[in-house]
Structure 1
Amino acid sequence: MRARQLSCWTAGLVAVAAVGTTTACGGPQEVATGDGKERSRPVDAAQVADEQAAEQAALKAYAGYLAASRTASQRSDPHHPDLTRFLADPLLTRVRFNLQQAREHGAVSVGTLRSDPTVISVALDATPPTVEIQDCVDATGYRLVYLDGGKGVPGTRGTRHLATATATRHPDGRWRISAGAAYQDQPC
């Protein structure tokens, strides 16, 4: 039971389902039509610039999320102040719950977590605006250990796997990671 609960915490570190693809280049864009033919249409330069700015802000929020989660997990601190800076609900509540579970079981995270995120879609016209991120997370050097004795928590050895995250722009203009999923059965 303890290992299963802590494995959920490990999975909760990283992010949710991704949808679509991103247009991040200027110039004409090929658009599929109902008759199977491709047509070019001009892309608004301001729109492209807005999407690129959103991508960069979302990736910055994602990097902040990973850093805040790693720092908080080193002490199993569900109230680490950087969590609210980079995460939003429902992911914030899930991460805090998993950190609390690790704390109650006397476990903390140690090691190195590597990440290689890419933006896969931008939806600035959504409410709220969103950016979907896909990542190959390498958690092979990252694990949970018991504070008492430093032994590894059974079943929490990290893997190299696919993860996804959703960044949302909030009314204050900040981008935060609001949803995420780790697909440990999908190596990358």
Structure 2
Amino acid sequence: MKLKLRQRVLFSALVTASATALLGGCTTSSQPGTASDAASTSKTGLTSPGAISSPSSAGVGLPSPWASDKGSPAQRAAAQGALVAYQGMWNDLVRLGATSDWKNPEMGRYMTGGVLSSWSTSLAKNKRDGLVLRGSTKDMPRVVSVSPAGQPTRVEIADCVSDSNWLQYVATTGKVANATPGGWRRSEAVVSYDTDWERWLVSQQVIGEVGSC
């Protein structure tokens, strides 16, 4: 089942409420790019382009998992590598978001293209505003597609991510900047194998509104 990733997530504030754009080209880089689109402010660590509808509970409405038992050894290895990259991206965002360290070259360990550019821009805005992110996300990713079969270079992942415990704080005082809770949001991602860097990188991502999974 193919995910319909027609939009780029605009993380220009790491907390935007509604924004959409076509996915740009995906070029590997450890340096942050620039997201030119801005959007209105939300409350927590994730953004919600409004591209995905809203089921009632976590995990509901996600595509069926890819049947790994029917895949080739190369496909199973690709699926595992892509999941490591996807979850590594979230781990790095939580860690670097705690200091809004958007210039850290480790931002590019698991992301590329528009995803890297947008998240870098988001952390940079938090830095300018004197904000940091504390807490962590919760997720339940599943691989839904691995292609091509012979030598996979593209893995699609569907996830339900919670930002309820990933909130903005004022860096100088440690006070919560906005305690409004988030919730479960559907995340769809493409993880691509970069032949130059010889690793899997999240190259496309869409995140839905609170309640979209």
State the TM-score bracket (shorter-chain normalisation).
0.7 to 0.9
Instruction: Report how far residue 89 of structure 1 moved.
Output: 0.8
Q: Could you report, residue by residue, the CA deviation over 1:83-104 in whole angstroms, capped at 9, with x for unpaired residues?
A: 2111111211111000101101
Q: Could you report, residue by residue, the CA deviation over 1:58-91 in whole angstroms, capped at 9, with x for unpaired residues?
A: 0000111111111110010112232211111121
Aligned to 1:123: 147
Q: Could you report, residue by residue, the CA deviation over 1:89-140 in whole angstroms, capped at 9, with x for unpaired residues?
A: 1211111000101101110000121111100111236xx9211111111221
Aligned to 2:69: 25
Q: Report if the CA contact (8 A) 1:91-1:179 is conserved.
A: yes
Q: Could you report, residue by residue, the CA deviation over 1:22-78 in whole angstroms, capped at 9, with x for unpaired residues?
A: 34223xxxxxxxxxxxxxxxxxxxx61111111000000011111111111001011
Q: Report if the CA contact (8 A) 1:21-1:122 is conserved.
A: no
Q: Which has the higher strand share?
A: 1
Matches of 2:211 and 2:164 in 1, distance apart? Answer: 14
Q: Cα distance 1:138–1:185, how it changes in 2: closer, same or farther (>3 A)?
A: closer
Q: Which has the higher helix share?
A: 1
Q: Report if the CA contact (8 A) 1:12-1:98 is conserved.
A: no
State the Cα RMSD in Å. Answer: 3.1
Structure with larger Rg: 1
Q: Report if the CA contact (8 A) 2:159-2:186 is conserved.
A: yes
Equivalence map 1:81-120=2 (5 Å): 81-120=105-144
Instruction: Report how far residue 19 of structure 1 moved.
Output: 8.6
Q: Report if the CA contact (8 A) 1:119-1:131 is conserved.
A: yes
Aligned to 2:199: 174
Matches of 1:122 and 1:166 in 2, distance apart? Answer: 10
Question: Structure 2, unaligned stretches of length 5 or more?
Answer: 1-11, 17-43, 53-61
Kindly, what percent of the aligned residue pairs are identical? 24
Aligned to 2:157: 133
TM-score, normalised to structure 1's length? 0.74
- Equivalenced residues, count: 163
TM-score, normalised to structure 2's length? 0.66
Q: Report if the CA contact (8 A) 2:137-2:163 is conserved.
A: yes
